[in-house]
Amino acid sequence: MVGYAFMGAAHSQAWRTVNRVFDLPLQARMAAICGRDQGRVAEAATRLGWQEHTTDWRSLVGRDDIDLIDVCTPGDSHAEIAIAALAAGKHVLCEKPLANTIDEARAMAAAAARAEAEGVRSVCGFNYRRVPAVALMRRLVADGRIGEIRHVRAVYLQDWITDPQFPLVWRLQKDKAGSGALGDIGAHIIDLTQYVTGQLITGVSGMTETFVKQRPLPAASNGLSAATGDGRTGTGAVTVDDAALFLARLDGGAIATYEATRFATGRKNGLRVEINGSLGSVVFDFERMNELEFYDATRPAAEQGFARILVTEPEHPYMSGWWPPGHLIGYEHSFTHQARDLIEAIATGQAVAPSFADALQVQLVLDAVERSAGLGSTWSEVEPALTEIAA
Ligand SMILES: NC(=O)c1ccc[n+]([C@@H]2O[C@H](COP(=O)([O-])OP(=O)(O)OC[C@H]3O[C@@H](n4cnc5c(N)ncnc54)[C@H](O)[C@@H]3O)[C@@H](O)[C@H]2O)c1
């Protein structure tokens, strides 16, 4: 694993847990973790359960006893690490968004395609697909239970930088993060809605805004928090969007709205998706992640209404490994499911989604939104990525 902070901890939890919960043909062994700071990576290795630690990710890629590289760093190093790992025959799990630029994402998808031919698996970390209620949502849609899809309504709302004194962490710098709310959280709802509907976004009209353009320089930053006050003074420019909104058309005929923002005061991690079809609707809200709302318009008029499905039955996706019905699961379980699916793909030789090609297609949507926003919200086609969304 490369990177040991927020996602490093979440993925470590998954690797520690996955074989204890699911009966799998392969056992995950947590060989080594890499970070840039010797002392902090040593502490992380102990805390997170890794056997060894290093400050040189290249040394991991070169080791014969390592089969898989898990990339949990900011976007500016995804391409270099993932491409080197794939070229060395290592399976790769890479966090989202896949890359900071289209060119990097294309190179990664090409490297993954070459490696695939050699039996090497790669997957991008759009973990919300692996929330059981979201997987159930997809199943209901695929089974035709909501009929022809008309509307997709997706928001991902956070508020962690509403304070103008919050420092200029890496997520607010284009060279490190690629984009702001758009690529960080907008990418999740793009992937999620395309996965659930089985439809790809073909064109967009977008708008982005950076409300706070200068911020104090950070002393140190980790994940979504930051420390100030080590004597560094001055401010720096925010070079990414704080918020991104767009309208979209999907290739199956649906029309959609998306909103991703870090300025929705009071909303901490408010991911909500509603899909309306000719025969019904489905609604997922991450704050109630064990539930799925389902409206079945084929029921007798007197019985119609949104049903709240508690997605904890063994028949529900991923739930057979967990607790008795009604005993809820949480955020970290989506990462365990991601690890499970990747291990199964490696063992069986099956493909695993979302592939790097799928993640490139998400990147092309992000690009279309940025182009549109730069042209006063002019309609912008999404460049075809030559991929289909796989289950
Ligand atoms: N799937 C999700 O829901 C989700 C959530 C948060 C973040 N992410 C993604 O995960 C990635 C990491 O985000 P995070 O929140 O964990 O960030 P973070 O700041 O918490 O952690 C980044 C880690 O990478 C390390 N690092 C940075 N550059 C490095 C380099 N060149 N070599 C080695 N280590 C390096 C840092 O030391 C740190 O340990 C990003 O791509 C982000 O978009 C995904």
Give tens-digit pLDDT for 259-312: 999 999 999 999 999 999 999 999 999 999 999 999 999 999 999 999 999 999
Distance 74 CA to ligand 1 centre (A): 4
What atom in ligand 1 is closest to the CA of residue 125? 1
Does ligand 1 lie within 6 Å of residue 147's CB atom?
no
Phi, psi dihedrals of residue 80, rounded to the nearest 5°: -60, -45
DSSP 2: B
Distance 141 CA to ligand 1 centre (A): 33
**pLDDT tens track for 8-45:** 999 999 999 999 999 999 999 999 999 999 999 999 99
Q: In this structure, how many other beta carbons lie within 10 angstroms of the beta carbon of residue 51?
A: 10
pLDDT at 357 over 90: yes
Does ligand 1 lie within 6 Å of residue 6's CB atom?
yes
DSSP 316: S
Does ligand 1 lie within 6 Å of residue 178's CB atom?
no
The torsion region of residue 318 among left (phi > 0), alpha (psi -120 to 50) and beta comes to: left
Mean pLDDT of the chain: 95
Helix or strand run (H / E) with residue 308: strand 306-310
Contact 355, 123 (CB under 8 A): yes
pTM of the model: 0.96
What atom in ligand 1 is closest to the CA of residue 71? 11
Residue 381, strand partner residues:
203
Roughly how many angstroms between the first and final C-alpha of the chain, as a whole number? 26
Does ligand 1 lie within 6 Å of residue 74's CB atom?
yes
Q: How many CA atoms lie within 13 A of 273 on its CB side?
A: 27
Residue 215, strand partner residues:
236
pLDDT at 391 over 80: no
Does ligand 1 lie within 6 Å of residue 72's CB atom?
yes
Q: How far apart are CA 58 and CA 52, in angstroms?
A: 14
Distance 72 CA to ligand 1 centre (A): 5
Mean pLDDT confidence for 184-211: 98
